[in-house]
Structure 1
Amino acid sequence: MDLYDRSIELIKRSQAANGSFPASPAFSTYQYCWLRDGTFTAYALDVAGEHKAAALYYRWVHRAILRHLHKFDTLLEKKRRGEQLTPELFWHCRYTIDGAEGTEPWGNFQLDGYGTYLWGVAEHAKRSRAAIMTAQDATDSEANGAVCAGGIEAFLTELRPSLEVTVRYLLEFWREPNFDCWEEGGDRIHPSSLAAVYGGLQEMADLLPDLRIRPVCAEIRAFVERCGVANGRFIKSVEHPTVDANLLWLVAPFAMFAPDDVRMVRTVEAIEAELCTGGVHRYPDDQFYGGGAWPLLTAWLGWYYLEVGDRQRAQELLAWVEAQADLQGHLPEQVPERLLYPEAQQQWVKRWGEPACPLLWSHAMYIVLVQKMEEGRRR
């Protein structure tokens, strides 16, 4: 069994019966389902043709959001009264496998996962429809996990309550400083997070036409252009002009900007110059486990290069990711070599143990890059 098949098998084996995914089945701190990690994992299943498993995950998110719906009502009331909106009032970025909030201290106010959820549902619907169109007959359609066209519409109708309230939540609070996808910088606004919000909202504009989505998307994009650019490229956070590999989100998958936008080209040049040592690191000052290279970000950079037609560079990055798998075919969260801050590694090992392995998000992005390369060959 090759790494691609092992990755699909690992993700499906790790999925709980209710649809949720632990971020890492073997790392105690990650026994939660993050909307961000989980949605990209479900997206990987969709690109691999495993639509039923992906749908099960989205139904789990739907139930989790409705379970905590009261928090949105409380936020709206406090905002109406002009009261301070403290981070604990907002929806959490992660839930226990059964959909409950965690109780330990965490940077829970993160908007990117909710935008990613909206985007992921839309991608699931598109890819399920495409599977139906290419299926030879009903038996083939059932085999690859697709449902009939009416089933997809019923699925979207089923999820509509959580989709609508998530859109309203993001429209209301996208301007609020919140933690980024690395669960840091809670007092800042991050272009990568705004890209996720933008991408998710854009996908909902036709489904929910009464919510004035497109003008807000234009406002979000204009904000990033105005406040998220310095020295001719995009920046990690507003007023923090360093580079971060999560800025790849502005192109893939959230399409806030074109891959050949000169600001994006310069951003990728900075990622290559400052963050790429074979694999891709998160950002220059990263001290988490010493600041190793992340397979998932390396796959993401490969995805970007496919968007600009550089298959050779994408293949090089894919080969690096594959080389990081252990003998069990597991990909880690990060690789402890060429660390940016080697002196910081052991404090994290003492705190949490060795870096998470396997990380489902790493396997997901590997699947995505493999499939994107295959889709490019077919075009």
Structure 2
Amino acid sequence: MRERVQQGLDSLRRQNGLYLASPSDTYHFIWIRDNCYVSLSKLDQDDDEYEQMYHSIFDIWKKYAWKIAFHADRRPEAVYQYIHPRYTADTLEEIHEPWGNAQNDAIGLFLYGIGTGLQRNRSMLRDTEDANLVRLLIRYLKTLAYWSDKDNGMWEETVELHASSVGACVAGLLAVKPFFDVDFPTIREGMVSLWRLLPQESATHDVDLAQLSLVYPYRLLPKQIARAIVQRVENHLLREYGVIRYAGDRYYADNGREAEWCMGLPWLGLCHATLGNGDAARRYWEWTQRVMTPEGLIPELYLPVQRMPNENTPLGWAHSLYVILDRLVNQLP
């Protein structure tokens, strides 16, 4: 099973080392967030695929360095002025159609990936240009006042203050702090904001799948609170084929019922593994296998009434989470 899932993930890889979110027309793009989550499955490999993904993202952003530099000192006034989280697959250009471009979590996640790689002595920075871009991103988050900045969040939807976005920025800044100048008040403001938001994700989302990121990969919360977040997701959002993103989600809603996202299953497994719950981690590992297609592919989601996967199959993000969970489960006693 592991080989088939890995093959499904590898099928999304481009020559530059970046990954399509999915081969479907809907998701035939390069998302910063999706690639950074895919990169987590490359972190322990002996090759340079992990670094290559980040180097390619640096190359994208070098084309827009003027924009990043401008807004590192001047807060964006419109959504399109935020650093874009999604690019064309072939030319790696910004997508100019109206979109929820204010996604601070993608910037925090990128910094987290850079810092994590540096902590493992990986060659994340090729030159001063790469290092300067990291410095600009740090300034950008500070200028945004990310701890109070209302963004579109992980699901690219409602503009509000999201715990998962604030948490991603805190985790990213903490990860790069040993290597770059990050003043403590910038991190402290984020932590204070996060504690004020929890246990909610936002003003309109009491419980949200995105909150699992605070447990894995960021490991930001004390164990007692992390367990409570995981339990709330399980109690309110867990379904037969996956995890709904939040109550009332209309994306691919089926006869009034929310779509069931498959990646929520390995994500819950990784959260339990992080918390030391081996049996639960194995249970979600097995559960994920049951929602795969006969070809060993993990869909984005299942329609809850029709019990059919949507066209975004395979979803790279889901495959990556399963690959990581598979390794952890096979290391359990």
Given that residues 64 and 99 in structure 1 are in contact (C-alpha distance below 8 angstroms), is that contact kept between their aligned partners in structure 2?
A: yes
Given that residues 260 and 308 in structure 1 are in contact (C-alpha distance below 8 angstroms), is that contact kept between their aligned partners in structure 2?
A: no
1:252/1:163 CA distance change after superposition, 3 Å: same
Which residue is 1:148 aligned to?
Answer: none
Which residue is 2:26 aligned to?
Answer: 29
Counterpart AA for 2:4: R
Q: Any unmatched runs of 5+ in structure 1? A: 130-150
Equivalent runs, 1:280-291 vs 2, <5 Å: 280-290=243-253, 291=258
The match for 2:154 among 181, 184, 200 is 181
CA distance in 1 between counterparts of 2:131 and 2:74 reads: 25
Residue 275 in structure 1 maps to residue 237 in structure 2: yes
Pairwise CA distance, 1:77: 6.0
CA distance in 2 between counterparts of 1:197 and 1:153 reads: 19
Equivalent runs, 1:49-64 vs 2, <5 Å: 49=45, 51-64=47-60
Residue 256 in structure 1 maps to residue 220 in structure 2: yes
Pairwise CA distance, 1:76: 5.1
Q: Secondary structure of 1:152's partner? A: coil
Q: Any unmatched runs of 5+ in structure 2? A: none
CA distance in 2 between counterparts of 1:106 and 1:24 reads: 18
1:369/1:157 CA distance change after superposition, 3 Å: farther
1:75/1:154 CA distance change after superposition, 3 Å: closer
Pairwise CA distance, 1:215: 2.5
Q: Secondary structure of 2:134's partner? A: helix
Q: Secondary structure of 1:319's partner? A: helix
| Alignment TM-score, normalising by the size of structure 2 | 0.89
Which residue is 1:89 aligned to?
Answer: 81
Pairwise CA distance, 1:115: 0.9
1:222/1:51 CA distance change after superposition, 3 Å: farther
Which residue is 1:202 aligned to?
Answer: 174
1:73-121 CA-to-partner distances (Å, cap 9, x unmatched) read 4335654xxxx71111111111112321012221111111111111112
Residue 66 in structure 1 maps to residue 57 in structure 2: no
Q: Larger radius of gyration, structure 1 or 2?
A: 1
Higher helix share: 1
CA distance in 1 between counterparts of 2:48 and 2:274 reads: 28
RMSD: 2.4
| Alignment TM-score, normalising by the size of structure 1 | 0.79
CA distance in 1 between counterparts of 2:101 and 2:3 reads: 33
Which residue is 2:131 aligned to?
Answer: 160
Residue 103 in structure 1 maps to residue 96 in structure 2: yes
CA distance in 2 between counterparts of 1:288 and 1:216 reads: 34
1:313/1:77 CA distance change after superposition, 3 Å: closer
CA distance in 2 between counterparts of 1:287 and 1:302 reads: 25
CA distance in 2 between counterparts of 1:284 and 1:51 reads: 41
1:246/1:154 CA distance change after superposition, 3 Å: closer
Residue 311 in structure 1 maps to residue 278 in structure 2: yes
**Same amino acid, percent of matched pairs:** 24
CA distance in 2 between counterparts of 1:325 and 1:276 reads: 17
1:154/1:181 CA distance change after superposition, 3 Å: closer
Given that residues 170 and 190 in structure 2 are in contact (C-alpha distance below 8 angstroms), is that contact kept between their aligned partners in structure 1?
A: yes
Given that residues 12 and 53 in structure 1 are in contact (C-alpha distance below 8 angstroms), is that contact kept between their aligned partners in structure 2?
A: no
Which residue is 2:192 aligned to?
Answer: 222
Given that residues 285 and 322 in structure 2 are in contact (C-alpha distance below 8 angstroms), is that contact kept between their aligned partners in structure 1?
A: yes
CA distance in 1 between counterparts of 2:106 and 2:219 reads: 16
1:265-301 CA-to-partner distances (Å, cap 9, x unmatched) read 3332221111112432211111211222222111111
1:153/1:182 CA distance change after superposition, 3 Å: closer
1:218/1:31 CA distance change after superposition, 3 Å: same
Pairwise CA distance, 1:36: 0.7
